[in-house]
Amino acid sequence: MTDPTLEPWQWPEEIWRAKVDLVRAGRNLKPRSWPGGARCAVALSFDVDHETNELRDGGRSVGRLSWGQYGNRVGMPRILELMKREDIRASFFVPAVTALLYPEEQRRVIAEGHEIGLHGWIHEVNTQVPPAQERELHLRAAETLERVTGVRPVGMRTPSWDFSEVTLAVERELGLLYDSSLFADDDPYELIDKGQATGMVELPVEWIRDDAVYFNMNRFQALRPYTAPETVFDIFRREFDGAYEEGGLFLLTMHPHVITYRSRFWILEALIRHAKAKGDVWFATHAEIAAYVKAQAGL
């Protein structure tokens, strides 16, 4: 255990090495080929936060709560209609409180062939929650999503991609197939828990493949980014093109209350057209991709 009286530059080797070794990337799981001879796998994902971002912070802003409601009223219908038109299955990571607020939305997601994954209880920050409470929240969230949708989640994306010292242990207790919260590669890899191979798949994320970092703002803070939609499309397209050239995975994270505005939604539409024009791209859910790479690796 870290001595709180020591500064990091004072730590003995066993302390800093233990922190580094807590959760590591193991063997690379990029397969030699993707299903149907596809050159590249595309995993579209949506973090369905809705009102939970504001509820996590105390729920004092009616304005920010209404912004979350936009995700349900406008964002999700637009996304689901696009997925239906393009015949694409996607993954939706849903806080349990979102599922309780909008159970019919989650049932529609499942009914239309998509995946729902874990995304915390109320979009809590894991590293700010006591370990025992974090475990209880994840277990309760899994039970809630299964009760609402009739399907047990097999994957987790931690809220805000915040991963504590006990998160992986809780995921393993839940028997999850995969996590999608970490950053150690472009392509799928096996998670290592304190030096032990787990058999769990990591489908890595990155902030540059996330819509929120380009468009989100908070009018009471200095957080006021804005990137032109054309620039965001160019970044996402270049990320996809790189994955295609390498025969790897392109994973994109989006939010119903961010990407679906009229001036932005074309980014996703154009990106899908661009990927489909290649002719040999596999669009799949995170669960499908994790199951495939795990089987190919013999895990």
What CATH number does residue 126 fall under? 3.20.20.370
pLDDT at 220: 72
pLDDT at 260: 98
pLDDT at 2: 64
Q: What is the pTM of this model?
A: 0.96
Is 57 contained in some domain? yes
Is 265 contained in some domain? yes
Is 5 contained in some domain? no
pLDDT at 218: 73
DSSP state of 75: I
Which range of residues forms the domain containing residue 227?
25-297
Q: How far apart are CA 263 and CA 246, in angstroms?
A: 31
Is 48 contained in some domain? yes
Range 57-85 average pLDDT: 96
pLDDT at 169: 98
What is the dihedral sign for C-alpha 253, 133, 137, 187? positive
Is 280 contained in some domain? yes
Is 266 contained in some domain? yes
Is residue 47 a contact partner of residue 252, using CB atoms and an 8 Å limit? no
pLDDT exceeds 80 at position 126 = yes
Q: How far apart are CA 145 and CA 94, in angstroms?
A: 8
88: Cα within 13 Å, side-chain hemisphere: 26
